[in-house]
Amino acid sequence: MSTVWTQARRAARMNPSIIREILKVTEKPGILSMAGGLPSADTFPVDEIKAACDRVLSQNPKEALQYASSEGFAPLREWVAARVAQLGIQARPDQVLITSGSQQGLDLVGKVMCDAGAPVAVETPTYLGALQAFNPYEPIYASLASDEGGVRPEAIAALPHDAPGTRFAYLLPNYQNPTGRVMSAQRREAVVAAAQAARLPIVEDNPYGDLWFDQPPPASLSSLWPEGSLYLGSFSKVLTPGFRLGYMIAPDELYPKLLQAKQAADLHTPGFNQRVVHEVIRNGFLDQHVPKIRARYKANRDAMAAAMQTHLRPAASGRAPRAACSSGYACLRASMRWRCCRWRWRPASLSCRVRPSTPSILIRARCACPS
């Protein structure tokens, strides 16, 4: 029977999230997927969250459960402005828009900035979830040539010629998803200088920046060019993704449109969630919590790297990841590339089992080359 529903053209551009599909596999017992950016559930501060829920519900129950402002809970916006100042980003609280995860920030950027047929510049490869967010708005993609150090400045310089009218460059300077690479300070300066010369705004996505192992990443791109950058942050990797809480720092000229786009999408991010998170973090909790996450992920990374050295086929070689951007056990997503046999750089496909209560990891590793 023929359908009575006619779908919009943009619906044809929506695809099931590959990431969600991958995450389904992680529900199987014994599987620890390195494919999605899943934080280790063992790091979730359950007791602190429980106590914060109690305080919010006993102190401000009516406000917490009522509709709330679209911009976000004012004390949380102030907290975010102070926090990003530590990254060198000078933002007023009224530039902070609290979003339902940074994923919603990507969708709002797409809604406000993309037009059918207008180019958007992305790293190669880039975060699939961003493409999923932008796709319905029908951009075309200008792939930016990238190397181990991130996007190449000359690729940005060439955009006015190669892809005139590019709306923005979507960049992940810290522990890039999916490669894990980090841009050096020098590269950041060159990239920003090229973007400024090309008059190309930057959308900087930084969910993993706090999860460094050896040294913090260099200054954010947004700090180098505040008026030409839009910054996306998230509580998912440092606290819990369950609250779906993220934020954007938007330039004044974009903020009102992003706000209207958010109002149309969900009116506001749940006020209860915002209050609970603010209650947990307002007295410096993350300053103690995040170093613990880093230490844990680093130990897991070391165990994983050692096990891979031992158990992967002898022809394999690689380098240890520099940050935990994926599961709690190690960031292996392509930041660790393995040379397998006669094949060129191919990611190893891994599944592993963790012994309860220890960071030791049993790995069944399979190199990706058919042999």
Ligand X SMILES: Cc1ncc(COP(=O)(O)O)c(C=O)c1O
- Compute how many other C-beta atoms are within 10 angstroms of the C-beta atom of residue 368: 13
Question: Is the Cβ of residue 198 or residue 331 nearer to ligand X in the bound state?
Answer: 331
Instruction: Give me the least distance between CB of 294 and ligand X, in Å please.
Output: 17
Instruction: Give me the least distance between CB of 123 and ligand X, in Å please.
Output: 11
User: Which amino acid appears at position 40 of this protein?
Assistant: S
Do 350 and 338 form a contact (C-beta atoms < 8 A)? no
Do 171 and 155 form a contact (C-beta atoms < 8 A)? no
Question: Is the Cβ of residue 20 or residue 364 nearer to ligand X in the bound state?
Answer: 20
Instruction: Give me the least distance between CB of 87 and ligand X, in Å please.
Output: 16
CA–centroid distance for 335 within its chain: 15
Question: Is the Cβ of residue 139 or residue 233 nearer to ligand X in the bound state?
Answer: 233
Instruction: Give me the least distance between CB of 6 and ligand X, in Å please.
Output: 31
CA atoms within 13 A on the CB side of 159: 31
Instruction: For residue 77, give every residue at least 6 positions away whose Cβ sits within 8 Å of its Cβ, in sequence order, or none.
Output: 71, 93, 94, 96, 98, 247
Instruction: Give me the least distance between CB of 114 and ligand X, in Å please.
Output: 17
Question: Is the Cβ of residue 223 or residue 234 nearer to ligand X in the bound state?
Answer: 234
Instruction: Give me the least distance between CB of 334 and ligand X, in Å please.
Output: 13
Q: How far apart are CA 117 and CA 132, in angstroms?
A: 16
Question: Is the Cβ of residue 98 or residue 361 nearer to ligand X in the bound state?
Answer: 98
Question: Is the Cβ of residue 236 or residue 367 nearer to ligand X in the bound state?
Answer: 236
Question: Is the Cβ of residue 71 or residue 205 nearer to ligand X in the bound state?
Answer: 205
Instruction: Give me the least distance between CB of 223 and ligand X, in Å please.
Output: 19
CA–centroid distance for 118 within its chain: 24
Give the residue nearest to ligand X (CB). Answer: 101
Q: How far apart are CA 258 and CA 248, in angstroms?
A: 10
DSSP run (H or E) holding 361: strand 361-366
Q: In 3D, which of 214, 147, 139, 149 has the Cα closest to residue 170?
A: 139
User: Which amino acid appears at position 120 of this protein?
Assistant: V
The contact set with ligand X (CB under 6 A) reads 37, 101-103, 127, 129, 172, 177, 205, 207, 234, 236, 241, 246
Question: Is the Cβ of residue 281 or residue 340 nearer to ligand X in the bound state?
Answer: 281
Instruction: Give me the least distance between CB of 306 and ligand X, in Å please.
Output: 26
Q: What is the dihedral of CA 336, 341, 346, 347, to 10 degrees?
A: -50
What is the DSSP track for 88-106?
Answer: T----GGGEEEESHHHHHH
User: Which amino acid appears at position 122 of this protein?
Assistant: V
Token pair for 181: 């690479």
Q: How far apart are CA 185 and CA 215, in angstroms?
A: 13
